[in-house]
Amino acid sequence: MAEVIDGKAIAASVIDQVKAAAAELAAERGRQPGLAVILVGTDPASQIYVASKGRTARECGFASVQHTLPETTSEADLLSLVATLNNDPDIHGILVQLPLPGHIDSGRVIQAIHPDKDVDGLHVVNAGKLMSGDLETGLISCTPAGAMHLVRRVNGTDLSGLDAVVIGRSNLFGKPMGALLLNANATVTMTHSRTRDLAAACRRADILVAAVGRPQMVRGDWVKPGATVIDVGINRIPAPERGEGKTRLVGDCAFEECAEQAAAITPVPGGVGPMTIAMLMANTMTAAARAEGVPAPRF
């Protein structure tokens, strides 16, 4: 039976480090990191995530600002809010909650965020720095940064000789995750919906990272004995055993089966999810430290 990686506890320790760094910035410079989160529309899941980001930011000692815009907001109005925040010296981080309504080009909005304030790490400047092996001067996308933090806890910082397999190739997760693993010297295979014999590819993985968005797709016999399994999926499925109409969260991996094979595995909930929010705080702290010209702590 695998070690179950406690993402919640590890996230809490990252948040403690962020708190300490924010307190130091306040003491030395009288400045407070500022995070602006923009939510367009009323999607209930997005509302919960955005509220949780704001709560954690305040807990870190940040100034947290939420902009909630109606579903019908035009792209031009959203771009103009982003421009205002880009020019606001009290705001160090800007996050536009995704997905955006269909009439807004989310790519255009993300690329309008100043790269120094792009705490989601999705601007091409930040994505490009990561791909070119510069992990120092940009901002790294929160979910892959959080997942990598967990990999490091289990496998160390140097993954030389290890095979890593990522399922999923999104700009949001798969691609930056592949880049982080490669940078740590893993031999990386990027797989996706068109991969032939996905199970066989996964069986080679010493580090298996699943981000497909399909509940419990990765089965126990896809997992190499002794592997590290990082489950990035968050899927809500019906749970009639909990009562009529009830649901529960599951990952992209069939947890019990995979845990029997793996040496270490992340649970859902309580794995990568909490790390995403912790790394958002870390990125905001980093952006604030850089803006104030003080050494940016490493998280």
167 annotated binding-site participant: no
User: Which residues from 215-244 bind ligand GUE, rule CB under 6 A?
Assistant: 234
52 annotated binding-site participant: no
DSSP-derived pairing of the beta strands 247-250 and 235-238:
antiparallel
| Residue 22 host element (H or E) | helix 7-29
Residue in 116, 118, 120, 231 annotated catalytic: 120
Rounded CA-CA distance 153/43 in Å is 34
Interface residue with ligand GUE among 56, 73, 276, 283 (CB under 6 A) is 276
User: Which residues from 173-202 bind ligand GUE, rule CB under 6 A?
Assistant: none
| Residue 54 host element (H or E) | helix 44-59
Interface residue with ligand GUE among 249, 257, 292, 297 (CB under 6 A) is 249
Rounded CA-CA distance 132/181 in Å is 13
Backbone φ, ψ for residue 205 (5° rounding): -80, 125
Q: Output 125 or 294, the one with its CB closest to ligand GUE.
A: 125
Closest approach of Cβ 29 to ligand GUE, in Å? 28
78 part of the interface to ligand GUE, by CB under 6 A: no
102 annotated binding-site participant: no
3-state secondary structure of 217: coil
Placement of tokens 């901002």 in the chain: 139
Rounded CA-CA distance 177/20 in Å is 28
3-state secondary structure of 37: strand
Site stretch for ligand GUE (CB under 6 A), options 65-73, 126-134, 211-219, 270-278: 270-278
Shortest-Cβ-distance residue relative to ligand GUE: 273
Residues within the interface to ligand GUE (CB under 6 A): 49, 95-98, 120, 142-143, 234, 249, 268-270, 273-274, 276-277
